[in-house]
Amino acid sequence: MDSADDIAITPVDRAIERLRTIYRGWTRETSVAQMRDDWDAAFAGCSVPVTCQPVSAGEVDGEWLVPTDAPHDKVILYFHGGGFRIGSVASHRDLAARIADASGCRVLSINYRLAPEHRFPAALDDALIAYRYLREQGLHPADIAFAGDSAGGNLVLCTVLAARDRGLPLPAAGALMSPWTDLTASGASYQSRAEADPIHQRAMILALARNYLGKDGDVSNPLASPLYADLSRLPPLLVQVGDRETVRDDATELAARAKAAGVDVKLQVWDGMIHVFQMFPEIPQAREAIASLAAFLRNHLHIGHQRAPQ
């Protein structure tokens, strides 16, 4: 018989412990390379039936994740999270694959360059290269959508902003999970959610920002902190965030400012959820969130009937 303590442990609690197990193994002496390897190993695998195929997207390494019977003329370009410091196609394969599976759409996930070896704007440059690669394959911008989590959500916005400012055609839509939009970490949620968030505290966020930008970098640069950008003329956006996150206001304020700028934006705040909870398939709300995200992308990519997420 399960004890009362066992019964009280929720899927979110188990996800938090998975994260803490990783972080507990890191010290000041742990190299960035080791952190990246640990992160990839912790989230390795793929829980849904998609075909995974390495690709060179221009000058950027990536991976195609292709569900059965996916249309050849529709693509979701995926940008992984990790604070621009860790994360990869490998660590986010399962999340990207579940999005591919739920949407019935091909996903191109890329390994953009990471800091501190490659500081801003290297990641943004790579995202733009991948977007150009897809267009050079004959895909129309209206048949391409962007999706990303955390720092990858930042890249969704910044890639669209850079494309707009350069006069390039824009993708059909953007889906953002727990987007990191404000590298100044000025949101009130950094205080109001400090106790509720098990991992991401303001000092850590500011350290990641310095790592990405360099000590003399401008944290309010709109192509690094898209919260401060002119958000007009962006494609439709879906923004998902957990209510327990210190970066909650990065999402809610972004949605408010985008709406004020005339953008078609949908905000979903998930009660009791942590940063990028969608990475954890054992959390029921993760499946619900991915189903909602898939429906949004299918609608804007004009793909037929939505599949049930696994």
Catalytic residues: 150
Contact between residue 193 and residue 248 where contact means Cβ atoms under 8 Å apart: yes
Pairing between β-strand 75-79 and β-strand 265-270 as defined by DSSP bridges: unpaired
Neighbours of 305 (CB within 10 A): 6
Phi, psi angles (nearest 5°) of residue 106? -65, 140
Contact between residue 81 and residue 36 where contact means Cβ atoms under 8 Å apart: no
Contact between residue 143 and residue 75 where contact means Cβ atoms under 8 Å apart: yes
Helix H or strand E encompassing 269: strand 265-270
Burial class (CB within 10 angstroms; exposed 0-12, middle 13-18, buried 19+) of 258: buried
Contact between residue 111 and residue 123 where contact means Cβ atoms under 8 Å apart: no
Give the closest residue to 137 by CA, choosing from 71, 200, 58, 83.
Answer: 58
What's the one-letter identity of residue 46?
C
Look at the chain and count its residues.
310
ω into residue 121 within 30 of 0, thus cis? yes
Per the listing, tokens 């002119």 go with: 230
DSSP 72-88: TT-EEEEE--STTTS--
Contact between residue 109 and residue 162 where contact means Cβ atoms under 8 Å apart: no
Give the closest residue to 238 by CA, choosing from 188, 197, 290.
Answer: 290
3-state secondary structure of 253: helix
Residues in a beta bridge with 78: 109, 147
